[in-house]
Amino acid sequence: MNDTVSIGSSPRRIRQSNLVAALQAIYSHRGMSRADLARKLGMNRSSSGEIVAELTEGGFVHELEAGSRRGEQSRAGRPGIMLELIPDAAFFVGIEIGVEHISAVVIDLAAEVRVCRKVAFDTLSSTVERAVEHGVALIVGDTTKEMMALCRGLGISTPAHIRPDGSVSLAPILGWRDVPLKEICRSAFPVKVPIAIENDANAFAIGDSYRSRIAGVTLFLLMETGVGGGIVIDGKLFRGGHGLAGEIGHTLVSGSGGQKFEQLIGREVLIRHYREAVGRNDADLQDFLVGVRDRVPAAVNIAETWSRHLAYALLQACRLIDPGRIVLGGSVASLYPMVAARVAVHMSEGQNIPFPNPEIVVDQDAEFGSAFGAACMLHQRFLSLENEEFSGDDGMQQRAAV
């Protein structure tokens, strides 16, 4: 099966689809030979060559000798020629507006992070407009003019229920309701680009899946002040009936006095209990993590309680969706590796039937995962038929002239 469109499509649509399919293939394989690309597209070498020529002239693709990339070794004999994306051909910005912080990243056409920034920010005391402006200024201030000129999308993630039009229906922790977030972002961003708005946990799930490309069912938990969740099935985000699938943080826990999971395993409960235990009002999450690492009794006791609550939360999720993998992200995820053995014990003790347990991992860049995912949404859009840059007859020519 090839990646081209049906013969019944219009010539312009066929051209657009083939350009997109070629970019997707080269990105997915991190480089391909001309022969392999032709086979992937189901074309002869001549037709495939025309697609490659257009992408090359447009500045998206170039040819390199196999083994010429850093860290690679050439094979014996005549080196092959590989088609690769030009990373600097396009850039995508992702901004996460959290409760107590704003983080931002820029990724290139190869989906590699080129810039990442994070600052403390009291979103609860700010207007939505000010929070957006702060996030935009954070990343634009550390991005070159050339990169911004080649920006092809802005993604925003935040702990909220997002409507299809990019507006916020409700953000309980932030206190937002009926906020036209997409329009606010459009006014604040200095470049006119496509904009996508997403729930922070869903964006985190998209970003990790973009990197790992693991099949099966994966549950993602983003643990900050609140606890957000997302579900990915075979690489695709499962939203549920109302876009709230995976949100186990809002589940009431029996016997806890009416508390939700996010009130038991979120950032605030850890810091509050640690401050009370050590008598320091200035203690923060990092102080607590250091205390756990150094086996300070007060910190270890709090971590033990946290591990028990996390195990219970994961068990409930496992019985509902049976994930093969659970990925933890957010600042609180740094605690998990220190108590992983205790979480495993509590999960084992919490079930009478020895159901298989999922693999539990911490995202490789947990604190920037949501911002990275927000940027990936626009990267994914660029490598799709939604990309209007490939839809017109002169779009590539105009770009090549820039």
DSSP string, 63-113: EEETT-STT--PPSSSPPEEEEE-GGG-EEEEEEE-SSEEEEEEEETT--E
153 Cβ contact partners less than 8 Å away, ≥ 6 residues apart: 92, 93, 193, 194, 195, 196, 375, 377, 378, 379, 381, 382
The pLDDT value recorded for residue 6 is 43
Q: Residue 200: how many CA atoms within 13 Å on its side-chain side? A: 31
The pLDDT value recorded for residue 1 is 43
| pLDDT above 80 (res 395) | no
Least Cα distance to 138 among 368, 379, 329 occurs for 368
Per-residue confidence band for 242, with pLDDT thresholds at 50, 70 and 90: confident
Q: What is the pLDDT of residues 187-222, one digit of tens each?
A: 999 999 999 999 999 999 999 998 888 889 999 999
The pLDDT value recorded for residue 70 is 47
Same fold, 89-205+369-390 and 214-367: yes
CA distance 384 to 109: 13
| Residues making up the chain, counted from first to last | 402
The pLDDT value recorded for residue 4 is 47
CA distance 223 to 301: 20
- What's the CATH number for 214-367? 3.30.420.40
Average pLDDT of the segment spanning 375-383: 96
| pLDDT above 60 (res 11) | yes
157 Cβ contact partners less than 8 Å away, ≥ 6 residues apart: 94, 95, 96, 97, 197, 198, 199, 200, 202, 203, 204, 370, 371, 373, 374
DSSP 8-state code for residue 350:
T
The pLDDT value recorded for residue 181 is 98
CA distance 304 to 291: 13
Q: Are 160 and 174 in contact (CB under 8 A)?
A: yes
Residues of the chain with pLDDT > 90, as a percent, come to 72
Q: What is the pLDDT of residues 132-173, one digit of tens each?
A: 999 999 999 989 999 999 999 999 999 999 999 999 999 999
Average pLDDT over the chain, rounded to an integer: 89
| pLDDT above 70 (res 69) | no
Structure tokens at 146: 């050339």
Range scoring the smallest mean pLDDT among 10-19, 142-151, 193-202, 228-237: 10-19
Burial 101-116 (b: 16+ CB within 10 A, else e): bbbbbbbbbbbeebbb
Average pLDDT of the segment spanning 218-242: 93
The pLDDT value recorded for residue 74 is 47
Architecture of domain 11-85: Orthogonal Bundle (1.10)
Burial 179-193 (b: 16+ CB within 10 A, else e): bbbbebbeebbeeeb
The three-class DSSP label of residue 235 is coil
Residue extents of the structural domains in the chain: 11-85, 89-205+369-390, 214-367
The pLDDT value recorded for residue 392 is 61
Per-residue confidence band for 67, with pLDDT thresholds at 50, 70 and 90: low
CA distance 245 to 121: 28
Structure tokens at 8: 């019944």
CATH 3.30.420.40 fits 89-205+369-390, yes or no: yes
The pLDDT value recorded for residue 13 is 80
Q: Are 162 and 169 in contact (CB under 8 A)?
A: yes
Beta strand extents in 201-331 (DSSP E only): 217-223, 227-233, 236-238, 325-329
User: In Å, how far are 28, 91, 134, 348 from 109, measured between CA atoms?
Assistant: 12, 6, 25, 44
Q: What is the pLDDT of residues 313-370, one digit of tens each?
A: 999 999 999 999 999 999 999 999 999 999 999 999 998 888 888 999 999 887 899 9
Least Cα distance to 283 among 296, 295, 273 occurs for 273
Least Cα distance to 192 among 225, 153, 221, 220 occurs for 153
| pLDDT above 50 (res 71) | no
The pLDDT value recorded for residue 387 is 87
The three-class DSSP label of residue 163 is coil
| pLDDT above 90 (res 112) | yes
Burial 294-306 (b: 16+ CB within 10 A, else e): eebebbbebbeeb
The three-class DSSP label of residue 290 is helix
